[in-house]
Amino acid sequence: MKLIVGLGNPGREYAATRHNAGAWWVARLADQLGVTLKVDTKFHGLCARIGRGESESWLLNPQTYMNASGRAVAALCRFYRIQPEQMLVVHDELDLPPGVSRLKLDGGLGGHNGLKDIVAQLGTREFWRLRIGIGHPGEKHAVVNYVLQPPRKEEASLIDTAINDSLEVWPLIAEGNYQAAMMKLHTQKQS
């Protein structure tokens, strides 16, 4: 894994919203690894390097707003010659309940504008996704307002649990042992 992207929206007004679950995950991983995400204007985001040489990887939280996430991802991928299949995109997932996280390669976009823009910029869906469940408001017309609001207290606790559970499989993901990571993550007792 050469690039780990946490999707979200920049700015204080969005920091605590459901749509930022991916950015929360990457920020927590950076803390766990003892690295600091810093503004890098050429990559339109907050970045940190992990490792050196052959084992070098990048953390990226785009600061372009969700609908233009692909701009940041494509800039970093092109500069460091990172192939899409060497990338993990961490994002909020309406189709999973709070407390659940899932890892997969490829797949649909589920109406997620951040994923849509990444696919548009890279020309492929062949990248890994870590989906952090945030639940669905029940009505399609309510989705935009829902993702741009902070989770309720009980949901926030479940989302936090899903982030912690999925961070536990990070070492397996980092070493490329995706099947073991999926097995462990998908069979954990999730709320």
Q: CATH no. for residue 111?
A: 3.40.50.1470
Query: Angle at CA 182, nearest 5°, toward 178 and 185?
Result: 135
Q: Is 67 annotated as a binding residue?
A: yes
Closest Cα to residue 112, out of 5, 2, 13?
Answer: 5
Question: What tokens appear for 5 in the block?
Answer: 């992207």
Q: Contact 103/169 with Cβ under 8 angstroms?
A: yes
* Active-site position among 19, 44, 91, 112: 19
Of 28-42, 95-109, 144-158, 176-190, the least confident: 176-190
pLDDT digits (tens, 9 = 90+) for 66-104: 999 999 999 999 999 999 999 999 999 999 999 999 999
Reduced to 3 states (helix: H, G, I; strand: E, B; else coil), residue 182 is: helix
Q: Look at the chain and count its residues.
A: 191
Q: Contact 115/131 with Cβ under 8 angstroms?
A: no
Give the pLDDT of residue 189: 59
The whole domain housing 75 covers 3-186
Beta bridge partners of 38: 47
Of 48-57, 96-105, 163-172, the least confident: 48-57
In this structure, is residue 23 part of a structural domain? yes
In this structure, is residue 129 part of a structural domain? yes
pLDDT digits (tens, 9 = 90+) for 24-37: 999 999 999 999 99
Q: Is 44 a catalytic residue?
A: no
Q: How confident is the model at residue 111 (pLDDT cuts 50, 70, 90)?
A: confident
In this structure, is residue 14 part of a structural domain? yes
* C-alpha separations of 69 from 6, 72, 90 in Å: 10, 6, 12
Q: How confident is the model at residue 191 (pLDDT cuts 50, 70, 90)?
A: very low
In this structure, is residue 177 part of a structural domain? yes
Provide the number of structural domains found in the chain. Answer: 1
In this structure, is residue 191 part of a structural domain? no
Mean pLDDT (whole number) for 125-146: 95
DSSP state of 138: S
The CB-side HSE value for 134 (13 A sphere, CA atoms) comes to: 26
In this structure, is residue 53 part of a structural domain? yes
Q: Is 177 annotated as a binding residue?
A: no
Closest Cα to residue 131, out of 84, 182, 171?
Answer: 182
Q: Is 9 annotated as a binding residue?
A: no
For residue 74, count other CB atoms closer than 10 A to its CB. Answer: 19
Give the pLDDT of residue 53: 80
Give the pLDDT of residue 156: 97
Backbone angles phi, psi at 125, to 5 degrees: -105, 5
**Greater pLDDT, 132 or 54:** 132
* Percent of residues, the chain, with pLDDT higher than 90: 91
Give the pLDDT of residue 135: 96
In this structure, is residue 157 part of a structural domain? yes
- The structure's pTM equals 0.95
Give the pLDDT of residue 34: 96
